[in-house]
Amino acid sequence: MGYNTLKSTSEKAEHFIGLVRTPIKPYLPAISRFLIVATFYEDALRILWQWSDQVMYLELARFFPGYTAHIFLGFNAISMLVFATCIILKRQVGPSVAVLATVIIGQAIAYGLLFDLMFFLRNLSVTGGLLLCMSESILRKRTKHTVFASLPQLTENERHKYFQLAGRVLLVLLFIGFIFNGEWNFVRMIVSLVGLAACCMVVVGFRAKWSATFLVSLLCIINMFVNNWWSVNHSNYKRDFLRYDFFQCLSIMGGLLLLVSIGPGGLSYDEKKKEF
């Protein structure tokens, strides 16, 4: 009885989501891609606005020699602006994702954040959104590829499915990090349990569109109340950290919205269920 009630409730929720989504459905992929790369735009503009401070930190705290700090920052800013725009416009999505992933890794190493757990989980989640952009580009385009007889090749359909699976798994890591980071109280415990259940549903692709929409709503509330950088004084160093976290959370919400738009893919419970 409990399972049937849950199933009926989730079906009604999906139907409601479908009705709400219909007016914005044509624009949802573009909105999603913009949100996914929002953190790269914010990061690039922050580098340009705080150029001297960034250079000073890399030279004095991270011991960058000579002009390498200028070269590193310039490469990062230009790469993020150019290739984030390419993803929005759906131009050279594969190379763009590769470059932006390289920027993420490079910044983690340069700023000494490689072993910072929350930084690591947040950026894995952002990478999950980038992989969903890759999956969407494979889904929508029809191109010819040269097949090398000596090398095993994945078909476009297989790559699409694997990118979607990887994207789903990586996207939810931010919320899992949130669960284990911070002080516990009753409200946090309830939110964590419900959110964890939704994360599991996204990973296995069970009612994926409903669970992804729920996580977007939950992350939106958390982002507004936890990462409210606009309420912090300009002179407070925490303002930049909160703004960075805010835009990263926006990017992950964009990834979840893209999942709502293109679906969970072939390697999911929802798709397997259709085969029976």
> What tokens appear for 230 in the block?
């606009």
| Structure confidence at residue 160 (pLDDT) | 75
The Cα–Cα gap between 163 and 245 comes to: 25
What is the CA 167 to chain-centroid distance, rounded?
A: 8
Which of 3-7, 92-96, 172-176, 252-256 has the weakest average pLDDT?
Answer: 3-7
Per residue in 112-136, pLDDT (tens digit) is 988 888 888 889 999 999 999 998 8
Q: Which residue has the higher pLDDT, 161 or 199?
A: 199
Q: How many residues are there in the chain? A: 276
Residues 6+ apart with CB under 8 A from 62: 110, 111, 112
Stretch 17-28: mean pLDDT, rounded?
Answer: 71
Tokens (6 digits) for 268: 């999911």
Q: Which range among 9-18, 53-62, 133-142 has the greatest average pLDDT?
A: 53-62
pLDDT mean across residues, the chain:
84
Cα–Cα distance measured from residue 221 to residue 274, given in angstroms and rounded to the nearest whole number: 33
pLDDT in tens, 160-194: 788 889 999 999 888 777 776 667 778 778 888 88
Q: Which of 253, 179, 203, 255 is nearest to 223 (CA)?
A: 253
- Alpha carbon distance 245, 262 (integer Å): 26
State the average pLDDT over residues 200-210: 89
Q: Where are the domains of the chain?
A: 18-140+155-274
Q: What is the mean pLDDT of residues 76-89?
A: 96
Q: What average pLDDT does this structure show over 207-233?
A: 89
pLDDT for the residue 274: 65
Distance CA 15, CA 2 (A): 20
What CA–CA distance (Å, rounded) separates 212 from 264?
A: 10
pLDDT at 25: 76
pTM comes to 0.85
Q: What is the pLDDT of residues 39-60, one digit of tens each?
A: 999 999 999 999 999 999 999 9
**Mind listing the pLDDT tens digit for each residue in 26-38?**
888 999 999 999 9
Q: Show Cβ contacts of residue 80 under 8 Å, excluding neighbours closer than 6 positions.
A: 40, 41, 43, 44, 100, 103
